[in-house]
Amino acid sequence: MKFWDEIGWRIGALPVRRVIWTLVLIFSVWVILDVLVFKFSSGLTRSSYDAMVRKRVFVAAVDPRIVIIDIDEASLARMGKEFGRWPWSRDTLATVLEHVERQQPAAVVWDILFSDLDRLSPGGDAAFNQAVGRSGHSHFSVVRLPQANDAASQLTRAALPGLWAGHSLASDTPVSDTHAPTVALIAPALPAVAASRLGFNNGYVDSDGVLRRYRYKEVLQDGSVIQSLPMSVASAVNATAYGDLLNRRRSALEPRDELIAWRERPNAYRHVSFADVFAQAEGARADAEVPGFSGKVVIIGSTAPSLHDIHPTPLSPIQAGVDSLATAIDNALNQRYLAELPRWLQAGLAVALCIGLALWVQFKSAASLEPALFPMPLALMTISYVSLNGSPVFLDLHLAAGLALVFLAVLRYWSAMRRNYWCSPPPRTRQPLAIWSWWRADAWLEDSLDRLIDTVERYAPACRVVVCGTSASTLRWPELARFATLVGPQDALHDARKQLQTHLRRIAQQRGEPVQLDSYSNREQLASIVLANWVKLERIDQVND
């Protein structure tokens, strides 16, 4: 016997209980290591999650108040003739800001950093700084640096008052400026911008570079809160939504970075060319393509690929950052949050499912789970998909589905090795062998054969089973597979006769009594003897009928 055949033979001889609980232990350890160390399943989860997001049936509609003034490639080309390459002199931005402000928008959101002074056009900086000082609706972006750098920073709440939310998470009392910690970030260079409403707008992508989550706020060590740009907008537009964001504490269903509830397509929000708005602000004839901005949440940003504000999302590998920001603002204003199960809970569900399958096999049979090999993981994935269609919580069951598929596949493979072992010729002994046949109205397929093997393993482990066919997928003549014969030492069959009768009568009918064999020389001779016995019993039944 070859080495691997010998290994399979020995594994097939192992008791069911020992095998299934060893598998549970191995798979549980693997899940824990995967969640804490390897994170192998995360890659599979992300790709299937992205596919689910793109194929959703129920998707929230866009907030019609949100309009994007887009510095697109067409604007760069048109305005480049007069103002040159980007960045243009900031008096162009001042012109657009004042034009929008005259229409009383709900908010003007700048997806543009003003972290440096324009050394080539100080007059443009001065004009924009004055326009911002007169603006009552502007919200500006800052870049949050890693929290580990906070201690080395000198920026406090006194320098950037508009970045901090109004209250501590620990209480409802205002946070004192004197006790506010320092934060590491790229601050605005213009005084009016630094004194305005601020919010960080970092894109915290996953390890594969895809943006799936957004950080709406960050809690500092003293319990105070710095806000994101969408949270800053919510403070001015929707006080209820702002209060909800402020009071949301981290819990099992609310991780630090929350899944983004994406719209139906990447560019779902209305875009207006910056060049068209600028032309109108300069006195050009009204353009039907340029809407009124009264009561609108106006976001000024860029979709031009040459300005590199693009990143992959579940919807597109080249989605513009301004569209992702618009989605986050929409979600904040309308309180659309998509919580997710933490990894430890996903691991717990996967292990619990594994234990449940093991208990089923222990009290039923391994074959009874074979029809669930693909339907069970598919059902778990379906639950995950359905939860993305309008549910406030994404039930991520990818880990449980993958574990169930592998567990059932391994169990199926072991079951085949087990049947090979128990349906082999019995070991030779000095005692004479005996055969005892049993009959079923239906063929001995995997489920009934496994229960037969369970009984033999428990009460007559020295015996073996002879059947004609055990696979429902390949069995063409079930009439030839209704007999099963127990073969083993005569004393072993005699000693276990009562227990075998008690348990086997639930699945089969006894045909005659154990028949002693004089001897047999090989497997083929034993098969001939068993087949002759089946024919003899069948003829006796026909005569009796």
pLDDT of residue 370: 80
- What is this structure's pTM? 0.80
Please determine, for residue 45, whether its predicted confidence score (pLDDT) is greater than 90.
Answer: no
Closest CA to 426 of 503, 353, 477, 490: 490
Confidence of residue 207 (pLDDT cuts 50, 70, 90): confident
What are the distances in angstroms from CA 124 to CA 70, 275, 294, 380?
20, 18, 26, 58
The pLDDT value given to residue 169: 39
What per-residue confidence (pLDDT) applies to 172? 46
pLDDT class for 284, splitting at 50, 70, 90?
A: confident
pLDDT at 292 over 70: yes
In this predicted structure, the answer to whether residue 473 has a pLDDT above a threshold of 60 is no
Position 72 confidence tier, pLDDT thresholds 50, 70, 90: very high
Section 126-141 average pLDDT: 96
For residue 252, pLDDT over 80 is answered with no
Residue 173: the pLDDT is 45
Q: What's the confidence (pLDDT) of residue 7?
A: 77
191 burial class (0-12, 13-18, 19+ CB within 10 angstroms)?
Answer: exposed
492-533 residue pLDDT tens: 888 898 898 888 888 888 777 888 887 666 778 788 888 888
Residue 122 and residue 115: Cα distance in Å, rounded? 14
Q: Given phi > 0 = left and psi -120 to 50 = alpha, else beta, which region is 209? A: left
Cis, peptide link before residue 87, omega less than 30° from 0: yes
Strand-pair partners of 256: none
Using DSSP's 3-state secondary structure scheme, residue 108 falls into strand
86, 76 contact by CB (below 8 A): yes
| pLDDT (0 to 100) of residue 542 | 57
Q: For tokens 């506010």, what's the residue?
A: 180
User: What average pLDDT does the segment 118-128 reach?
Assistant: 93
The pLDDT of residue 92 is above 80: yes
* Segment 409-413 mean pLDDT: 90
**Nearest CA-CA partner of 412 in 28, 29, 20, 22:** 20
pLDDT reading at 37 higher than 70: yes
Comparing 341-355, 377-391, 474-488, the range with the smallest average pLDDT is 474-488
* Rounded Cα–Cα distance for residues 60 and 337 (Å): 11
As a whole number, the mean pLDDT across the chain is: 86
Summarize pLDDT for 158-198 with one digit per residue, the tens.
Answer: 889 999 987 443 444 454 555 558 899 999 999 999 999 99
Residue 411, classed as helix, strand or coil, is helix
pLDDT on residue 303: 95
Please tell me the predicted confidence (pLDDT) of residue 544: 55
The pLDDT of 9-16, averaged and rounded, is 82
Comparing 229-238, 369-378, 452-461, 530-539, the range with the smallest average pLDDT is: 530-539
User: How many whole angstroms separate alpha carbon 73 and alpha carbon 310?
Assistant: 13
255 pLDDT higher than 60: no
Mean pLDDT for the stretch of residues 294-309:
95
Give me the mean pLDDT over the 376-393 stretch: 91
Give the burial string for 165-178 (b: 16+ CB within 10 Å, else e): bebbbeeeeebeee
Is pLDDT above 80 for 251?
Answer: no
Nearest to 266 by CA among 209, 315, 212, 199: 315
The CATH architecture that domain 426-544 belongs to is 2-Layer Sandwich (3.30)
To 10 degrees, what angle do helices 398-422 and 40-54 make? 120
Would you give the end-to-end CA distance of the chain in angstroms? 47
High-pLDDT (> 70) share of the chain, %: 91
Query: Across residues 392-411, what is the average pLDDT?
Result: 89
**pLDDT given at position 519:** 65
The residues of the chain that CATH labels 3.30.70 are: 426-544
Residue scoring higher pLDDT (99 or 174)? 99
Range 311-325 average pLDDT = 95
61, pLDDT greater than 70: yes
Q: What is the pLDDT of residue 470?
A: 60
pLDDT surpasses 80 at 490: yes
Q: Which two tokens stand for residue 207?
A: 């390890």
Report how far residue 140's alpha carbon sits from residue 270's, in angstroms, rounded to the nearest whole number: 20
Helix axes 321-333, 229-237, angle to 10 degrees: 40
H-helix or E-strand containing 239?
helix 239-247
As a whole-number percent, the residues of the chain with pLDDT over 90 amount to: 46
